[in-house]
Amino acid sequence: MAIGIFDSGIGGLTVFKSVAEHFPELDIYYLGDTARVPYGNKSKDTIIRYSIECSQFLINRFEIEALIIACNSASSYSVEILKNKLNIPVIGVIYPGSKHALEVSKNGKIGVIGTYATINSNSYKKTLIELSEREIQIFQKPCPLFVPIIEEGMIDSEITRLIVKEYLQEIIDEGIDTLILGCTHYPVLKNVIKEIYPDIQIVDSSQVIIDDIKKLDINFKENGIRHIFITDESSSFHKLKEILVGDVKTEKIELSELCKL
């Protein structure tokens, strides 16, 4: 038995890395749907269908004990559906990130950045309001250029700093003290954001999700297997994979293996 993680592509490797570091004996299987990335500009129905297909692949092939949706767009639309459909625990990234943001924010002004799908779904906004026991203000901002600059490896560059300022200054000026990175690519830019805005509390779901995983009733002492699957070859995937997780075995599967499920 093992744990499965899926994402629309590369970004979920930040979650994979965090889980692997915290649970060294846990068997972890990751699926990056690189043939159909990004999910962030797809319709709700399409994102749900893709999420079901990715989940079924991991369940059928590895009999996973729990599933992590390491994709904010998929988490926005698919968590409850997968919880009802699958016979295993399902953890998305929206709830842990929202909960932690409320814990660390002192002034109740919280910023959320993500893809268009995540922002348009208002999933973070709804969750923050549901969980909060005080009056809060939420400022959301889509940041579509973050993903391509990360996948190009332009992490520590002046262009990246300019784009970060262009996107974030508007919500910084609203007085936020906490920023939720609502896309699993974005932790790669965490140090750059912190450098520009040192006083902001940054919420990284790849880190805060660990507490939710610890609560799972699964076997954490296995063989420490690490295996990554992708649905299409991508130079950007391999580039970021080397940066984040190094020499982990990667295998390409045919997209038809998902679509026929």
Active site residue 54: no
For 218, the token pair is 């699964």
Neighbours of 195 (CB within 10 A): 12
Distance CA 248, CA 59 (A): 21
Is 228 exposed, middle or buried, given 0-12, 13-18 or 19+ CB atoms closer than 10 A? buried
Query: Distance from first CA to last CA of the chain, Å, rounded?
Result: 21
Q: Which residue in 54, 71, 143, 259 is the catalytic one?
A: 71
Tokens 């767009």, residue? 73
Computed from CA positions of residues 19, 24, 29, 32, in that sequence, does the dihedral angle turn out positive or negative? positive
For 233, the token pair is 């070859």
* CB-based burial, 107-139: b 16+ in 10 Å, e otherwise: ebbbbbbbbebbbebebbbebbeeebeeebebb
Q: Which residue in 54, 143, 183, 259 is the catalytic one?
A: 183
Distance CA 46, CA 44 (A): 6
Active site residue 183: yes
Q: Which residues are marked as active site?
A: 71, 183
